[in-house]
Amino acid sequence: MAGGVLILAPLFLLKRVQGCFHGIQPLPQKADMFACSFIFGSIGLAFMFLEMALIPKYTLLLAHPVYSAAVVLSSLLVSAGAGSLTLGRFQEKRPWFLWLPVIIALLWVLLHILAGDLLFSRAMGWPLWGRLFLAVCFIGIPSFFLGWPFPAGLRVLAGRFSYMVPWAWGINGCASVIGAVLGQCLAISIGFLHLMLAAVVLYLMAVIIFHLGPPEQGYPSLFIGKQGPKGSDWKKIRANQFLTILKGIYIRRDYSSNGGLAMDNF
C-alpha cells in the first residue's frame, strides 16, 4: 500500500517537472507511463522470482541453505552487473539485443526442467568446491544476459524522458520488494520451475513492450528507439539539462495585473 502511494504520488507533480524540460524533451502520454511502469515493474518481479526459485532449489545441491543463498545471490548480482557493463556496445549496434536474454533464460529454465534433477543427482558425490563451481557456472552465465534489460530501459528513458528515471527506479525497487514475498508464496503454490517460467514470461512481456511500435502512436514512442543515446547524444542531453537548470535559476516570476505568471526569456 505504502509503495503504491509513493509511486503514484510523483505523478501529481509531473506537470511541474515537465515545465522545466519544456522544449527540450517531449511530454509523456498516458500510454508512455503505462509502458514505463510495466517494463520496470516486470523486470523487478522477474529478477526476484528467479532468486526465490533458485535459492531453495540449489540448497539440495550445496547441502546447506546458507551456501545456497550466498552462491545464488552473489552469482546473480555479480553476473548481472557485469552484463550491464557490456550493454553499450550491444545496444548501439544490435537492435534485437534484448531478445537474447529472453531466449537464454527460456533455454536455462528448460535445461532445469529436462536435465536439472539428473545433473544435480550426479553432482551430489562431488566435493564441495566442485558443486560450488557448478552452481556458479549454471547461474552466472545466464545471469550475465539478464543484466541487460534494466539498464537498457533506463538508457532509453533517460534520452526520452530523463525526469522519469527516478520514478522508474522506484517502480523497480517496489516490484523487487513485492517479488521477494510473492515469489516465496508462488514457489510453495506452483513450484520452483513454474516460478522460473513465470519470470521468463515477465521478461518476454517487458521486451515485447520495449520493441512495440510504431513510434508515432504514443506509448511505443517511449522505447521504440531501441539503441539509446550514443556518447555524443549523452553529452547533448546533459548540456541541455544543465541549461534548463540555469534557466530555472534566472527565471523571474512577476504577477501581472490579471494574476498571471510572467516569465523572462532566457
Do 130 and 242 have their domain in common?
Answer: no
Q: Structural domain of residue 245, as residue ranges?
A: 230-266
Please give the pLDDT value at position 240.
53
> Identity (one letter) of the amino acid at 148?
W
- Whether residue 5 lies inside any domain: the answer is no
Do 73 and 136 have their domain in common?
Answer: yes
Please give the pLDDT value at position 120.
85
Q: In DSSP terms, which residues pair with 255 in a beta bridge? A: 261
Please give the pLDDT value at position 17.
54
DSSP string over 2-66: HHHHHHHGGGGGHHHHHHHTTTTSPPPPHHHHHHHHHHHHHHHHHHHHHHHHHHHHHHHHHSSHH
- Whether residue 215 lies inside any domain: the answer is yes
Do 169 and 215 have their domain in common?
Answer: yes
How many domains does the structure of the chain reveal?
2
In the block, residue with C-alpha cell 533458485: 54
Please give the pLDDT value at position 254.
42
Please give the pLDDT value at position 93.
62
**What residues in the chain have per-residue pLDDT under 70?**
1-29, 91-95, 213-266
pTM of the predicted model, to two decimals? 0.72
Please give the pLDDT value at position 2.
60
pLDDT tens digits, one per residue of 4-34: 666 665 555 555 555 554 555 556 667 777 8
Do 234 and 223 have their domain in common?
Answer: no
Please give the pLDDT value at position 95.
64
Please give the pLDDT value at position 16.
55
Please give the pLDDT value at position 248.
45
Do 200 and 265 have their domain in common?
Answer: no
Do 76 and 137 have their domain in common?
Answer: yes
Please give the pLDDT value at position 204.
93
Write out 241-262 in H/E/C secondary structure: HHHHHHHHHHCCEEECCCCCEE
Do 211 and 90 have their domain in common?
Answer: yes
CA distance 113 to 152: 29
Do 74 and 204 have their domain in common?
Answer: yes
